[in-house]
């Protein structure tokens, strides 16, 4: 686990913790700070630094996020009002926020999304927790999940049988997509027969229960 810096503020005397490389941590005098392993932080009553802490701080400090934004062709924006990052792909909108006042990040998925929505419109909609993704300390991990999820979703729209099945999780998603496809096929058949019977009631006699 990484080492963090805990410092004592001049004005309030409160303890503040900083992530490695924080601009403000580098300016603190040695006698006013100490280093801790991340796992030992929770035994100290300290708040996160306003510069490097939380979602906004992670977006500032994590240089790999800019690379992911370019490689995956996605939008990643911080919204101050909700204190969350919004990740928009061509087919989905996701929200990343701090989980229960820790430095863990939780992932939320917008219920309905139109790719032409502005950030303000996307952020104003209803979201649900992505329950198969546990809160994590890595925003990179969540971004990689988002791009893999939406890539798989596009494959399913074309033909779910093209989904990869290399890992246990991929096999699980394949089975879920297969069940959804079969349910959708049965629904289409039911709709077709209802339409036929509506046009010709005598066809009901041919139905098999």
Q: Report the run of H or E that residue 139 belongs to, with start and end.
A: helix 139-159
Residues 26 and 40 in one domain: yes
- 143 belongs to a structural domain: yes
* Domain annotation covers residue 208: no
Domain check: are 118 and 64 in the same one?
A: yes
Residue 93 domain-assigned (yes or no): yes
Within this chain, do residues 137 and 65 fall inside the same structural domain, yes or no? yes
Is 114 a member of any domain? yes
The answer, yes or no, to whether residue 156 has pLDDT greater than 80, is yes
What pLDDT score was predicted for residue 1? 45
Has residue 207 been placed in a domain?
no
Give 77-83's long-range contacts (Cβ < 8 A, gap of 24+): 77/119, 79/119, 79/123, 80/56, 81/123, 82/123, 83/54, 83/55, 83/56
Residues 41 and 61 occupy one common structural domain? no
- Output the CA–CA distances (angstroms, integers) from residue 21 to 46, 74, 117, 169, 194, in the order listed: 18, 26, 35, 35, 66
Mean pLDDT of 69-78: 89
Regarding whether 131 and 89 lie in a shared domain, the answer is: yes
pLDDT at residue 56 above 80? yes
Q: What is the largest CA-CA distance in the chain?
A: 91
Domain match, 20 and 82 both: no
Q: Nearest Cα to 173, choosing from 185, 164, 182?
A: 164
Unique residue bearing structure tokens 């079969």: 182
Per DSSP bridges, beta strands 3-8 and 33-37 are: antiparallel
- Domain span at residue 81? 57-158
In sequence order, the β-bridge partners of residue 107 are: 96
Taking residues 53-82, what's their average pLDDT? 89
Number of domains in the chain: 3
Of 29, 47, 65, the one marking the end of a domain is 47
* 209 is a domain residue: no
The pTM is what?
0.75
DSSP classification of residue 57:
H
Residue 98 sits in the same domain as residue 174: no
């Amino acid at each position: 686990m990484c080492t963090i810096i805990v410092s004592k503020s001049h004005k309030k005397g409160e303890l503040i913790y900083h992530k490695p490389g924080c601009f403000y941590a580098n300016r603190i005098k040695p006698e006013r700070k100490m280093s801790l392993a991340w796992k030992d932080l929770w035994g100290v009553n300290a708040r996160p630094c306003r510069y490097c802490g939380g979602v906004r701080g992670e977006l500032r400090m994590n240089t790999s996020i800019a690379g992911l934004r370019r490689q995956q062709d996605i939008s990643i924006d911080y919204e101050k009002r909700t204190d969350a990052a919004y990740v928009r792909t061509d087919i989905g909108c996701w929200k990343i926020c701090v989980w229960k006042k820790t430095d863990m990040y939780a992932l939320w998925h917008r219920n309905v999304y139109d790719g032409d929505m502005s950030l303000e419109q996307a952020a104003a909609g209803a979201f649900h927790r992505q329950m198969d993704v546990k809160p994590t300390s890595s925003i990179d991990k969540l971004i990689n999940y988002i791009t893999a999820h939406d890539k798989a979703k596009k494959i399913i729209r074309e033909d779910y049988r093209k989904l990869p099945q290399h890992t246990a999780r991929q096999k699980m998603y394949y089975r879920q997509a297969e069940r959804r496809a079969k349910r959708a096929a049965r629904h289409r058949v039911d709709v077709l027969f209802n339409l036929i019977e509506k046009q010709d009631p005598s066809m009901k006699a041919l139905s098999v229960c």
